[in-house]
Amino acid sequence: MATVYDFTVKARGGEEVSLKDYEGKVLLIVNTATGCGFTPHYEPLEAMYKDLKDKGFEILDFPCNQFANQAPGDENEIHEFCTMKYGTDFPQFAKLEVNGEGADPLFVYLATEKPFEGFGKGLKVKALEKFTNMNNRAFGDKAYIKWNFTKFLVDREGKVVARFEPTEDMDKVRAAVENIL
């Protein structure tokens, strides 16, 4: 049975990183963007990382520009933005695609393990659904991730245990992380 430890990703500098390096840790894997309405999620993510990293928690940040061109910079510009504006200290990897023919195998796996179940309810959700439906039409059945800041929670054995859409309250995400730590 596959786990996230079976995957290799690219670091910001381009070198290959085996996720086996994170074996035994609780992971929150996130596709991110610097110009998104959800970009302020970096703040509670960083707070969670600072509070919980010594307990075996890691956040793996994967910038993605597939949603309304909201991560247009190169990897160094994105990293500089995140560290200067939000003080992020968790690992940030190379920019990648999460949808379509070029989707990174890690995100295909994550989304297959925990498929999209909806954004919830409310006016904000209706507006987001309009954008996501338009954006994801280009990817057809390979629209694995619906928007930036989708988060996947992985337990210490490398199994995907939860998926949180960007509309999910960050307190709920944190509670789920703390629950499996």
Residues classed as catalytic? 36
Looking at residue 80, its amino acid is E
Secondary structure (DSSP) of 16-65: EEEGGGGTTSEEEEEEE-SSSTTGGGHHHHHHHHHHHGGGTEEEEEEE--
Which candidate, 170, 174, 171, 154, places its Cα nearest to that of 162? Answer: 154
Q: How many residues does the chain have?
A: 181
Q: Is 2 left (phi over 0), alpha (psi -120 to 50) or beta?
A: beta
CB 60 within 8 A of CB 96: no
CB 68 within 8 A of CB 135: yes
Phi first, then psi: give them for residue 10, nearest 5 degrees.
-100, 135
Which residue in this structure is represented by tokens 């992985």?
Answer: 154
